[in-house]
Amino acid sequence: MKNLKILVCLLILALIQSTTLNYFMFFRVKPELMLICLVLLGLFLNWRWALAYSLFLGFLKDIFGVYPFGVNMLLFVFWAYLLKVLSRKVAIEDNLILVALIFILVILNSISNRLILFFCGKIIPLGIFLRVSLIEAVYTAIFMPLVFKAFSYFKFFLQNKEESTQEIFY
């Protein structure tokens, strides 16, 4: 039941990313909520569930995005794997480290998407790419504490629900 709630929340998050965040664009760039959620799920969940959710997030990003289908699915699974390897070697517990990690991840995701589009024959001018990538990374890093607060509230809500049902049955 908990996994179904997370899937529904990810779907709602993807809809918010593709619709509501259009009103919060800054220089025609909006924050990457799906990458923020990928980092949070990758750091706080079991490896198998984080991998499954990253695949689902990539699928949603491919559906609502402009990149060729399957690109974000592959990249999101790779980022989840990279986060799991990194979290085993480095303690990622401070919010400042999370913000820096998300900033770097958004830049790497932008570079990867640009390279894939370049090899598909679609060329994006370098100036536009740099402007969009840097603004998107900064905007996402600034937006991250709000999403982290909502995530911690949702996590707290799930824990309280489970504890209250356990008290009823015991």
Provide CB contacts within 8 A for 45, sequence distance 6+. 53
Q: What confidence tens digit (pLDDT) does each residue in 82-103 have?
A: 988 888 887 777 778 888 889 9
* pLDDT band per the 50, 70, 90 thresholds, residue 166: very low
**Helix, strand, coil percentages in the chain from 3-state DSSP, rounded to 5:** 80, 0, 15
pLDDT over threshold 60, residue 114: yes
Enter the pTM of the model: 0.81
pLDDT at residue number 159: 62
Residues 69 and 125: their CA atoms lie apart, in Å, by: 22
Residue percentage of the chain with pLDDT more than 90: 12
pLDDT at residue number 164: 42
